[in-house]
Chains A and B, each alone.
Chain A
């Protein structure tokens, strides 16, 4: 399978008076057409920065490090100028965020924000854009699109707003959709609706989806493959079923063990002791070693990426930690 989006050795540096930190450190992953890749990790692991650097929407103090490449259909986005990037953003790669209220403009109606997105990238008239917008609202499962079209964001529920965001993101038929914690602010019942819609649209539009989440629960059954991030690095990549059944990295194992379950025997939760370190205090070698139950001398050095089985890679010195 050839990859549509190919990220290699992506590094993001933050500059401040206190020095330089590297919250994303040589992250590599590939995303194929029609595929969903989940980028999973706890807060501060660098998953959102990774997503933002694909569109080069990084905060001013941050920059992509030398040697990083982000190829879309074989074309590197890193050296592109603003004009070229504008055509990519929203056109070929679209993104939706956790909080749709802050990404929608409160003084414009839902409909006008969708038509604006369409007309920014396509040479179409107002009437055509309106028709397309209504069609999109219907596609994302908004009942009575005609009346919703003229409503303002504050008149819509959280789930509706996220649907409007999805409609905007889809307006130019992107090849890649980046969804950064798209359902974290929503109730579980609404979360289920939104995930269902995203999945349906991925299939009907043959889109590639990069799903960024802290929730392993929404990954199961939704993503084809999972990349687990810890402290700025990908520690394990595997097909979803494989990752849940045979997690190879001690961090993945510990993360899975700490999640409360609805079924199975009820037992005391096993948390990971300690906290996720800050980027300015990342330990040398394997960054998980201070919290790892199997750590030994060698973990002071960074472990190489090792293939466990087809499509399953891990960065751990141990063959079978358990």
Chain B
């Protein structure tokens, strides 16, 4: 998967597992929700890994666990030479500067009673990025970098449109000069005309600052714009990973194929095959035995093996696919 020319990985995640204990409906019983069930990936410096899948598949939990917003059940996360999961106390606080997150709904993550300048300056002050007297100037620079006027600093979040708020969220995460940003559905709530502005901005910032992104999205056309590599997630597992162009043009896993065929394209002449999956995503508290996708799989060769033996990722063509019958 890693071409010889690729820069060294900044983020290395191995066998990451996050299980939640959930109290059952009847007192005594507890059940284990397998939100993330053993995923591995690397993100090179200055590159983007796209993470796609339906809601409830565990995408956001992967991100939150990597950022230590949730504690992993097991696995390892390395960031350069740092063992992220072993960090404690002050070390962890200092380290947080290097990784940031941008959310889908910037309004929900901005304090409505805090002026934009304060919100962006907060991180600068806490992490002492610049001397206190230089904070206003740095805020103005950051606002300019995301395409907002310096006067925005004196206004409140509600005075801005959705797209402008997302720019504020981006400026806020850039303030502490991170190397790595998780973009969790950053454009899903935006209108198309504005969505394109924000995608271009994120791309420009990446090129200018050499940022690495983990880009979570449900829209594969958006992923195509931003990510060099893509991982397709289903019920806590990666079912296919590889270069984005390959995943989109020659997907091997039936789930990837279905996901791709479901994307509505604004082109009536498009002759793409339409696969309509039946049923919903099973609950991660009761994942099916064997291949997690077998309950919705339409592969003609699906057989007893799929019901009992869980396929692991293996190279098929130019991608890695977790399907027993990916070749056929």
| Residues in chain A within 8 A of chain B (CB atoms) | 42-43, 143, 157, 159-160, 187-193, 195-196, 214-221, 240-241, 244-245, 254-256, 258-263, 266, 268-273, 275-276
Contact = CB atoms under 8 A, between A and B. Distances in A.
A42 B190 CA distance: 9
A260 B196 contact: yes
B220 interface: yes
A241 B264 CA distance: 15
Given A217-B265, A258-B193, A271-B194, 14 more contacts: A143-B279, A160-B280, A188-B54, A190-B280, A192-B264, A219-B266, A220-B266, A240-B268, A259-B192, A260-B224, A260-B225, A262-B260, A275-B194, A276-B161
Interface in B175-198: 191-197
B2 interface: no
B225 A269 contact: yes
A275 B191 CA distance: 10
Given A192-B276, A196-B276, A254-B193, A260 B267 contact: no
B104 to A, nearest CB: 13
A42 B259 contact: no
B308 interface: no
Contact of A216 (B192, B200, B224): B192
Contact of B267 (A143, A218, A220): A220
B151 interface: no
B220 A262 contact: yes
Given A220-B264, A241-B268, A244-B268, A271 B197 contact: yes
B106 interface: no
A65 B161 CA distance: 28
A260 B248 CA distance: 13
How many chain B residues sit at the interface, stated as a range, is 35 or more
Contacts, number: 131
Interface string B188-221: 0001111111011001000000000000001111
Nearest to B244: A266
A111 B83 CA distance: 53
B164 A191 contact: no
B269 to A, nearest CB: 7
Given A217-B266, A220-B268, A262 B221 contact: yes
Contacts of A143: 279
Contacts of B265: 217, 220, 261-263
A177 to B, nearest CB: 19
B270 interface: yes
B150 interface: no
A261 B196 contact: no
Given A261-B265, A268-B200, A187 B193 contact: no
B277 interface: yes
Contacts of A219: 266
A222 B280 CA distance: 23
B258 interface: yes
A240 B268 CA distance: 8
Given A214-B192, A244-B268, A262-B260, A193 B276 contact: yes
B192 A42 contact: yes
Contacts of A272: 193-194, 196
Contact of A189 (B192, B225, B259): B259
B262 interface: yes
A215 B269 CA distance: 17
B144 interface: no
